[in-house]
Amino acid sequence: MPSHRGIIRLVALGAVALGTLTLSACSYTEEAKPKSGNYLATQPDSGPAGGEIEDGISLQDTHVPALARLDSALLAALQSAAADAQASGVAMHVSSGWRSAAYQQRLFDEAVVKYGSVDEASKWVHSPSLSKHVSGQAVDIGPTDADDWLIQHGSDYGLCQTYANEMWHFELATTPGGECPPQLSNPSDERAEG
């Protein structure tokens, strides 16, 4: 049976060996070193310039690309709705607005991993070619009480919740005071053109 000293030596040698492996596995050149912990920061046309929002932003932050690149009529309707919601005691922020194709592709790729298939991912996230976020014609709103308020009053501004499984997703889908079209069950459903 090995002595305590023998066991300690084996553990110490193992730690040294493991430390050497760990150091060599983590080494990289300064050029290859990630500049941020955020995946998008290392991708072209991503981060804030690609429409990423770390936390919700005010509808007055129009210098932020996620708002600056929204359709102007959508932005105006949202700002008007947010002012009225605030007057009713409901604070509203944008959690996602315009998105670059690169950012949208990343979201779609992550959804494929999360849900296990393209078909399942498509129930939650569109590819860049289909996303109304990429064209600046969709916005995600928070928090939940603001979503509830907008679901009840959004059509007064032309804003509609377009997907039943995404209470936060709104588009300018009717004229102010008009009737919203029936919701699709999820983004993979297609609206019949009539």
pLDDT tens digits along 43-74: 556 678 889 998 899 999 999 999 999 999 99
pLDDT at 84 over 50: yes
pLDDT at 172 over 90: yes
b (16+ CB within 10 A) / e for 88-125: eebebbbbbbbbbbbbbbbbbeebbeeeeeeeebbbbb
Higher pLDDT, 188 or 4: 188
Residue 1's pLDDT is 46
Residue 188's pLDDT is 87
Nearest to 69 by CA among 104, 109, 108, 106: 104
Nearest to 176 by CA among 92, 82, 74: 74
pLDDT at 3 over 80: no
Contacts of 64 (CB under 8 A, 6+ apart): 48, 53, 57
